[in-house]
Structure 1
Amino acid sequence: MLVLLPPSETKALGGSGAPLDLDLLSHPELTPVRGKLVDALVDLATDVPASLAVLGLSERQAGEVERNAELRRSPTLPALARYTGVLYDALALEELTKTEKSRAFARLAVASALFGVVGGGDPIPAYRLSGGSVLPSVGPLGGLWRPALEPVLAAADEFVVDLRSSPYTSLARIPGAAVVRVVTEDGKGRRNAVSHFNKAHKGRLAQAIVKSRSEPTDLKGLIRVAVRAGLRVEPTGPRTADLIV
């Protein structure tokens, strides 16, 4: 299976891996677009005020621009260790057993404005670029990514679970993917999408998936894994489900 997680704006710093080598990332078909975006970010970083404006950062976040400038030289970490925040706190990669980490690297992938999608174990540097960013030399990212990324994801010969957030679903559609929505339910059974802590619950679902010895091959199997982990997940259609919190 392939579970697509949303990325995070925040990244762990440092790393012990060799500098970025695009040829080592999953889905080498994406290398030309990845290279173009890396070059664009490095070039943009030579103009700090412009970088802050394009990336929606304050002057206090100028360190993010410095990291973009060092994209090709800075050390790398596995993607699941690089991204931080509530989803990745809930996944708790550092608490997984060796076997569970292997499953995480095999089953989980992360949507990325810079790399399109990266496998959980792919070695990447710290960077700053959001799905909604518009780089001056490139334009809106969706126009660049959709032609390259949609065929790659559509060709996935496995059960795909799409947990991406809206800025990243707009970069590539995956018509055959199962989509899980995080919702609350009131006393009358009405459900509303959760915005606050949405990612934390997705992180718990991702953790349940990698802790499971059995690998789900369809939505029913995914729901069984979630329920065994104490999560309440119910189908709402052939390829959709609600995670009720």
Structure 2
Amino acid sequence: MLVLLPPSETKATGGDGAPLELERLSHPELNPVRDKLVDALVELASDVPAALAALGLSQRQADEVARNAELRRSPTTPALHRYTGVLYDALDVAGMTGAERSRAAGRLAVASALFGVVGGADPIPAYRLSGGSALPSTGPLGPLWRPALEPVLAGVDDFVVDLRSGPYASLARVPHAVVVRVVTEDGAGRRKAVSHFNKAHKGLLARAIARSRSEPGTVRGLVRLAAAAGLRLEPVTATALDLVVA
């Protein structure tokens, strides 16, 4: 199976891996777009005010621009260790056993504005680029990514579970994926999408998938796996599931 996670704006600094080599990332057919965007971010970083404006950052976040300037020279670390924040705290790769980390690396992938999609073990540097950004030299990311990324994801011959957030889902459609929505339910059975704790519950689901020795290949199998982890996952349609939380 393949689980598509959203990235995070926050990322761990440093790393002990060699500088970025696009050839070491999953799906090398995406490298022409990756290369173009890396060059665009490095070039943009030479004009700090313009970079802050394009990336939607404040002056206090100028260190993010400095990170982008070093994209081709800074150290790398596996993607599941690079991303931080609420979802990745709940995923807690560092707290997994070696076997669980191996399964996480094989089953989990991260949607990325810069790299399209990366495997959990792919070595990447720290960077700043959001799915809704538009760079001066490339324009909006959707028209740039969709022609390259959609065929790659459409060609994944696996059970695909889509946990991406809106800006990243818009970069590429995955028609055969099962989309998970995090919702609450009131006493009358009415459901409402969760915003604040959305990422945490997606992280818990991804953790359950990584820790399970069995690998579900169907919606029914995924629902059973979630239930075993204490998560209430319910089919809504053939390609949509609700993760119901208290």
1:35-184 equivalence runs, <5 A: 35-184=35-184
Q: 1:197 offset after TM fit, Å?
A: 1.1
**1:71-102, Cα deviation, whole Å (9 max, x unpaired):** 00000010000000000000000000000000
Q: Which amino acid aligns with 1:86?
A: V
**1:117-163, Cα deviation, whole Å (9 max, x unpaired):** 00000000000000000001000000000000000000001100000
Secondary structure in 1 matching 2:242:
strand
TM-score normalised per structure 2 = 0.99
What is the number of residues matched between the two proteins?
245
Give the Cα–Cα distance (whole angstroms) in 2 for the partners of residues 33 and 140 of structure 1. 13
Give the Cα–Cα distance (whole angstroms) in 1 for the partners of residues 164 and 112 of structure 2. 10
Q: Which amino acid aligns with 1:130?
A: S
Give the Cα–Cα distance (whole angstroms) in 1 for the partners of residues 75 and 169 of structure 2. 29
Give the Cα–Cα distance (whole angstroms) in 2 for the partners of residues 27 and 111 of structure 1. 12
Secondary structure in 2 matching 1:11:
coil
**1:151-193, Cα deviation, whole Å (9 max, x unpaired):** 0000001100000000001000000000110000001000000
Give the Cα–Cα distance (whole angstroms) in 1 for the partners of residues 11 and 197 of structure 2. 18
Q: Which amino acid aligns with 1:139?
A: G
Q: Which amino acid aligns with 1:197?
A: F
Secondary structure in 2 matching 1:64:
helix
Give the Cα–Cα distance (whole angstroms) in 2 for the partners of residues 27 and 17 of structure 1. 19
Give the Cα–Cα distance (whole angstroms) in 2 for the partners of residues 182 and 218 of structure 1. 19
1:5-16 equivalence runs, <5 A: 5-16=5-16
Q: 1:240 offset after TM fit, Å?
A: 1.0
Secondary structure in 2 matching 1:242:
strand
Give the Cα–Cα distance (whole angstroms) in 1 for the partners of residues 168 and 218 of structure 2. 23
Identity %: 76
